[in-house]
Structure 1
Amino acid sequence: MMNYSYQCLPKTHFLKVSTFHPFFKFNPFPYTNYAANTTHTHKTPSFTINCNLKNVGKKDLLSQKIVLSEASPPPLTQDNDVPSTSKENKASNGLFKKLSKRVLQILSNLPLAIGEMFTIAFLMGLGTFIDQGEAPEFYFQNYPEDHPVLGFFTWRWIFFLGFDHMYSAPIFLGMLALLGASLMACTYTTQLPLIKVSKRWSFMHSAEVIRKQEFSESLPRASIQDVGTILMGAGYEVFLKGPTLYAFRGLAGRLAPVGVHIALLLIMAGGTLSAAGSFKEIHVNKFSMDYYESGEVSQFRTDLSLLNMDGKEVMRKTISVNDPLRYEGITIYQTDWSISTLQVLKDNEGPFNLAMAPLKINGDKKLYGTFLPVGDVNSPNVKGISMLARDLQSIVLYDKEGKFAGVRRPNSKLPINIDGSEIVIVDAIGSSGLDLKTDPGVPVVYAGFGALMLTTCISYLSHSQIWALQDGTTVVIGGKTNRANFLRHEGPNTNALKVYLIDEFYKLKCNRSCNSSLLPVIHTFNNVFK
């Protein structure tokens, strides 16, 4: 085989074949004369070689045509001939790759990820300590500037950092995003390459290389086929190629860490989705109350309509205590009730809407009251008619001196005269106490936790690899595992390779399907690659 190299031709490598029969004698082109005559132009000879390739195995002659060159290749260019835009693009691409690699190295740093997790845990604990979603006055009173907590922490810090709504605050969501980026970077730079390497199966053709593995042993008077049979019985994937063997087990243990990272990302995504929430319009159609015979409130109900963003009703339900409304991550509970407004007619004028205010009384019973001015409303000592109600059934009225005047039911249309004024109770309007929880991220969080538990258990499976080579009548075997037990020392300088083969060997021995001379050595292979 001949190789000729010219400066104007790219170097050509010929594949070695069994027999090469040229039909002619090849004369190399005189490079010195050619170079002297190519000062301004480049010319390349175009020629064809017809030859026969003989395959020794089949002894057939195959006619081949090998075309070395059919057109003049582009001349070699110097750096000065390269366009500046091309240089700039290459430089920018190289800079971008270096920057991306550097960012991935920083994000995949384990101490950084641990610090991010501790920071998130600290913020979550702080969110538990600081009451969430309260009115500003609450924080003014509990975190005043004149008596700061820990000497510096006041309501200004809470509002500035968003600690009054911690789990939707930018600092908390930013830390979640940073941890997610670290997990993805670790998966990309560490876990995925490990999986690619683990999926490759290769043979070792050198006994010395096998002996350099973490665990190695020599099996005298053994057959590599018997070793492969035993490993297959132990659950290994076995590959044989001539005198060499490769086997592995527990590849799922390598895949599981990626699943753990994905599960953590799902949990964080669900938490972020829950913090963002969603919006639907709620319309209260009717509020009603049921009473015992004694007059006490037994149950209160609210007829609700849930509207989408277009104002279309998507669900309607009457809820009560312990019977909430649930729709696409939105849950509405019936928690409380009150009386908000009293409608009255005064001397056939109105109706007037009088706001009812809760009054403090002993015990857990409720009492609401309102006031209808009589006379000069601009007087500093204005007087009027007082109205009290425990529920929506009856209204108790008092004159301007505080004396009992009578009781009227709403919608009874029965007037009552108090201090020269005719009063009619038109209606008592109740208000429904609802607890709305919109948490669309709950299914995602549950799915993430389920995947986390499953992949964590799978990750404890050991990924074991075994190589073997038939060296005469001896089988040299070695292996490694990512979760091996420590080796027991059988002698001063002897490390015993322990592989889970003993049980399967006993079965094969009983079936007379493998060499019994393996038994003394296989006893040393127990419990490492379990």
Structure 2
Amino acid sequence: MTSKESSTSGLSGLWSAPRRFLRTQILPILGDLRLAIALLLAIAVFSISGTVIEQGQPLGYYQANYPEDPALFGFLSWKVLVTVGLDHVYRTWWFLSLLVLFGMSLTACTFTHQFPALKAARSWKFYKQPRQYEKLALSAQIQSGSLDELQQILEKRRYRVFQEDNALYARKGLVGKIGPIVVHASMLVILAGSILGALSGFMAQEMVPSGETFQVRNIIDSGPFAGSQVPQDWSVRVNRFWIDYTPDGAIDQFYSDLSVLDGDGSEIEQKTIHVNEPLRYDGVTFYQTNWAIAGIRVQLNNSPILDLPMAQLDTGGAGRLWGSWIPTKPDLSEGVSVIARDLQGMLLLYGMDGKLLGSVRTGMSAQVNGVKLKVVELVGSTGLQIKADPGIPIVYLGFGLLMVGVVMSYFSHSQIWALEREGLFYLGGRTNRAQVSFEREVLEVLEQLDRPTPESDFSQLDPIAS
């Protein structure tokens, strides 16, 4: 043996032990159905927790809603949530590890169970001994019959027929064996899309006054590789924000007219969005989720129009109110407070002593502190939730494949054997589902064969329990 051959042999022996360990120890464990079910249940439980527990909120939100005393269920406090990562479940290392491990389990199961089952189903084999037919779930022995005639009958029923000497084998529904493989592949595609979205996606929230232009900046949750998804060379302008109200004053729907602008400020795309009708551009989706009052425009006597901000007041959960202070003297020694609850235009005016002075509507005027105060406009802000998830198309593709695989799995894989020997004709078969229908089909095949003589023996036709 040459030194080169010796080296090659040594390397082959070096790699054979790990391969053998992987094949005999690791793959059986990963391909165990019990492990796959346990992983799937764990993923389901943590996914439910990510739906019940609000994700991506500021720390103060969890401190207020999940206090340490009393802790929810006696242990679930904000410290536990933040430490474990339940405030961003889908991006934690342990949840992604569960997805990867589940994907490995599916892959191992596919290669150790599904592919061998498909390979066995694709190969044809002949039963050439009468005793072999006794072991089949459905079998018959008659004194007349022809393999050639049986072949024609089965081919009309879309069977693929193989014949050798005095034996015949036929099968159909091989797609039913491919279905589980497609289901496993689709789940792997869904997992890949989910992992890609968790690593590369982001979520942001913006509160933008009507008429303002903004870029996505307030990112509240993102993956480690989400930087490439955040828009850099285009921005969005809120052309107008408005609310439709019902006759009793309740909010019916709120709308935002948005324009996507390129680097030069030219409009690329425009759409009016509302709840459940977002704007999608360049892989980023803008959802209408909230609203606020950003400011008020007023005029004092014949002064220029003043733009003043309005802030949301703390009402202790009694409703949403916004307020501002309007000076009525140049030295700011006097003024009035204005309170608004919506964009319908009704405002309450309060003096420096906190007493109610009256009310005023948008476009109308009121006398306060010897000054004519005119409310020109209430400026609304649109609350937008902005998401980018490059894995969504992959997830949709996976679910499409999953539906196809489930349909394929419902096809029955049916097999029929036949043997001519010593003047007798043996026929038997089996299927993996729809056994009653298969029994009926075998009986019809027997009827289409040559009519048996009175001495024909059908006593061995074992009906399958429904």
TM-score (norm 1): 0.64
Look up the SS of the partner of 1:517 in the other structure: coil
Structure 2 CA distance for aligned equivalents of residues 305 and 249 of structure 1: 57
8 Å Cα contact 1:499/1:529 also seen in 2: no
Match of 1:338, SS state, is: strand
Equivalent pairs counted in the alignment come to 431
> Displacement, 1:187?
1.1
* 1:318 corresponding residue in structure 2: 272
Q: Is the 8 A contact 1:323 1:333 kept in 2?
A: yes
Give the drift of 1:163. Answer: 0.9
Aligned equivalents of 2:331, 2:55: Cα separation in 1: 41
Are 2:380 and 1:430 aligned? yes
* Higher RCO structure (Cα 8 Å, ≥6 apart): 2
The within-5 A match list for 1:47-446 is: 77=1, 81-82=3-4, 85-86=7-8, 89-101=11-23, 102-206=25-129, 218-272=141-195, 276=201, 279=230, 282-288=236-242, 300-306=254-260, 314-320=268-274, 324-325=278-279, 332-334=286-288, 336-342=290-296, 353-358=308-313, 360=315, 367-372=321-326, 384-389=335-340, 391=343, 393=345, 397-402=349-354, 418=369, 428-434=378-384, 445=395
Taking the aligned partners of 1:264 and 1:165, their CA distance within structure 2 comes to 23
Q: CA shift at 1:113, angstroms?
A: 0.6
Equivalent residue of 1:388, what SS?
strand
CA 1:415 to 1:220, structure 2 compared with 1: closer, same or farther past 3 Å?
closer
Q: d(CA) in 1 for partners of 2:463 and 2:22?
A: 44
Whether the 8 Å CA contact 1:339–1:392 is kept in 2: the answer is no
- Relative to structure 2, which stretch is displaced further, 187-196 or 441-450? 441-450
Q: CA deviation at 1:351?
A: 5.3
**Quick one: distance in 1 between partners of 2:262 and 2:11?**
50
CA 1:306 to 1:99, structure 2 compared with 1: closer, same or farther past 3 Å? farther
1:42 counterpart residue number: none
Q: Give per-residue Cα distances to partners, 1:158-194, cap 9 Å, x unaligned.
A: 1122211323433323222221221122112211122
Larger radius of gyration: 1
- What RMSD, in angstroms, separates the aligned Cα atoms of the two structures? 4.8
Instruction: Tell me: CA distance 1:298–1:176, structure 2 relative to 1, closer, same or farther (3 Å).
Output: closer
Aligned partner (choices 453, 457, 462) of residue 517 of structure 1: 453
123 and 218 in structure 1: CA distance in 2 versus 1, 3 angstrom threshold: same
Q: CA deviation at 1:431?
A: 0.9
Distance in 1, matches of 2:146 and 2:91, equals 65
My pick for the range that moved more, 369-378 or 250-259, is: 369-378
Report the Cα distance in structure 2 between the residues aligned to 1:335 and 1:262, rounded to whole angstroms: 36
Shift in CA distance, 329/467, structure 1 to aligned 2, threshold 3 Å? same
Residues 373 and 91 (structure 1), Cα distance of their counterparts in 2 relative to 1, 3 Å cut: farther
**Whole-angstrom distance in 1 between the partners of 2:265 and 2:455:** 79
State the Cα distance separating 1:304 from its structure 2 match. 0.5
Indicate the larger mover: 306-315 or 459-468.
306-315
- Aligned residue for 2:42, secondary structure, equals helix
Which letter maps to 2:309? L
Q: Contact 2:137 / 2:462 at 8 angstroms: preserved in 1?
A: no
Q: TM-score, normalised by structure 2?
A: 0.72
Matches of 1:180 and 1:479, distance apart in 2 = 36
Q: Is the 8 A contact 2:144 2:452 kept in 1?
A: no
- Code of the residue aligned with 2:167 in structure 1: it is T
Any conservation in 1 of the 2:31–2:106 contact (CA below 8 Å)?
yes
Distance 1:166 1:251 in 2: 41
> Compared with structure 1, are the counterparts of its residues 318 and 235 closer, same or farther at alpha carbon in structure 2 (3 Å cutoff)?
closer
Matches within 5 A, 1:12-51: none
Quote the Cα distance in structure 2 between the aligned partners of 1:192 and 1:308. 51
Q: Relative to 1, partners in 2 of residues 1:372 and 1:503: Cα closer, same or farther, differing over 3 Å?
A: same
The one-letter code sitting in structure 1 at the alignment partner of 2:442 is L
Aligned amino acid, residue 85 of structure 2 = G
How far 1:237 moved relative to its partner? 2.0
Gap change, CA 1:296 and 1:144, over 3 Å in 2: closer
Structure 1 counterpart of 2:445, from 495, 504, 515:
504
Deviation string for 1:185-215 (max 9, x for gaps)?
A: 2112211122122112234555566666666
Q: Which amino acid is the alignment partner of residue 355 of structure 1?
A: M
Deviation at 1:116, TM superposition (A): 0.3
Change over 3 Å in CA distance of 1:425–1:124 after alignment to 2: same
Matched, 1:468 2:418: yes
Residue 464 (structure 1) shift: 2.8
Is the CA contact (8 Å cut-off) linking 1:462 and 1:529 kept in structure 2? no
What whole-Å deviation, never above 9, does each CA across 1:471-522 have from its counterpart, x for those lacking one?
Answer: 2322344544444869xxxxxxxxxx968432234345xxxxx353399445
Distance in structure 1 (CA, Å) of the matches to 2:433 and 2:407? 14
Q: Which runs of 5 or more structure 1 residues have no equivalent in the other structure?
A: 1-76, 487-496, 509-513
Q: 1:375 to 1:171 in 2, by over 3 A?
A: farther
Contact 1:211 1:476 survives alignment (8 Å): no
Residue aligned with 1:432, SS: strand
Partner residue of 2:220? none
SS of residue in 2 equivalent to 1:501: helix
Q: Which piece of structure 1 moves more, 467-476 or 214-223?
A: 214-223
| Alpha carbons 1:394, 1:408 under 8 Å: kept | yes
2-structure distance, mates of 1:357, 1:453: 48
User: 1:111 corresponds to which letter in structure 2?
Assistant: R
Higher deviation after alignment, 130-139 or 355-364: 355-364
